[in-house]
Amino acid sequence: MVLKTHTRGTSVAKRTPFYDLHVKANAKIVDFAGWDMPLHYGSQIQEHHQVRQHAGMFDVSHMGVVDLHGADSSNYLRRLLANNVDKLTAGKALYTCMLNEQGGVIDDLIVYKVADDFYRIVINAGTREKDIAWMRMQAEAFDIQLTERTDLAMLAIQGPEIREKVAHILPSDQIDIVSNLKPFHFATANDWFIARTGYTGEDGYEIIFPANQAAALWEACLVAGIQPCGLGARDTLRLEAGLNLYGSDMDESVTPLESNLAWTVVLDPTDRIFIGRDALEKQKQEGIKRRLVGLVLDGPGVIRNHQKVIIAGNGEGEVTSGGYSPTLEKSIALARVPAEIGTSCFVEIRNKQVPAQVIKPPFVRNGKKVYSVSG
């Protein structure tokens, strides 16, 4: 099946270097943030289990890669980000939020330190243009250069079998380097950038490399038994892992403190002035009124985004991400609720109040339940 380019208003759909390979693999192509991306290749649930039990690969080339160079690079990031890049040494990665002055989340991202004057930043596809505009605006007082790397592709390979399979897809001079990587560390070899990071709750790597090598890496992964997986499985995997999705679980209207991301906010040292700091300090002082929690449905039905969460005697909340968990065989969700919620609540599904447990995410890590499910 050949899918032709289509337009959305005056804009043409964007395609990654893997697009023709998705079509060849009979992927169902959907619009995601203006990109033609694979939703699944036949069975979303099978792809989910493939990653939890074996090994899968995801085209994530729609995400933005921005290289930061210059003598002021570290000082710039100290001001730009809520987490502190002083934690980083060369070869390490850091998850963080980029905030507005009100403490709202402009985006969540990963920053990689290559050297004191060189960082690589990976941003979300849906916020790509907004992020880069904000980053450039904040750069005016610093001696830095920001470069969007549109010449690169990005592939995530995830699952419990990845570490043994990676030897079959990388050049021989890279295998020893990569096999010894610790989580949230990365290595560079030739034009390849390989990080032990991911968005599934499983072990794995995210590989950034020249776009003209996309087909060769894809074929090598297939030969090694790493199966292609689409956006559908990526979403159920990240939800089970309790990982936020920008635009659903957080946006510019909420702070990291309300989004189960307080651990990404570093207020020490007190003289590091980052964008949004004053608002977060004020919110902490006044007390957090709402927070993001996990829900596990006890009754029948499937929790969906925006459904009402009812807390007996303590108001209401809203589901931010909901769906069916293939690993747990139950419906689960992330929801923003009043800070004092207790251990149970109700979710309003088709005008019925269905009981649910309140848990602290994640639901699943490394293929296993990490909390007790009743029933």
Question: What is the structure's pLDDT at 2?
Answer: 28
pTM assigned to the model: 0.94
Look-up of token digits 């959907």: 30
Task: Record the tokens describing residue 235, joined without a space.
Answer: 């979403």
Kindly report, as residue ranges, where domains of CATH 3.30.1360.120 are found in the chain: 7-56+151-240
The one-letter code for the residue type at 89 is T
- CB neighbours (10 Å) of residue 89? 9
Task: Record the tokens describing residue 171, joined without a space.
Answer: 């050049």
Kindly report, as residue ranges, where domains of CATH 2.40.30.110 are found in the chain: 289-375
289-375: CATH number: 2.40.30.110
pLDDT in tens for each of the 375 residues of the chain?
222 333 344 468 899 999 999 999 999 999 999 999 999 999 999 999 999 999 999 999 999 999 999 999 999 999 999 999 999 999 999 999 999 999 999 999 999 999 999 999 999 999 999 999 999 999 999 999 999 999 999 999 999 999 999 988 987 777 888 888 999 999 998 899 999 999 999 999 999 999 999 999 999 999 999 999 999 999 999 999 999 999 999 999 999 999 999 999 999 999 999 999 999 999 999 999 999 999 999 988 999 999 999 998 889 999 999 999 999 999 999 999 999 999 999 999 999 999 999 999 999 998 889 876 433
Q: Under CATH, domain 7-56+151-240 is a member of which superfamily? A: Probable tRNA modification gtpase trme; domain 1 (3.30.1360.120)
**Maximum CA pair distance of the chain?**
62
Nearest to 156 by CA among 119, 111, 121, 201: 201
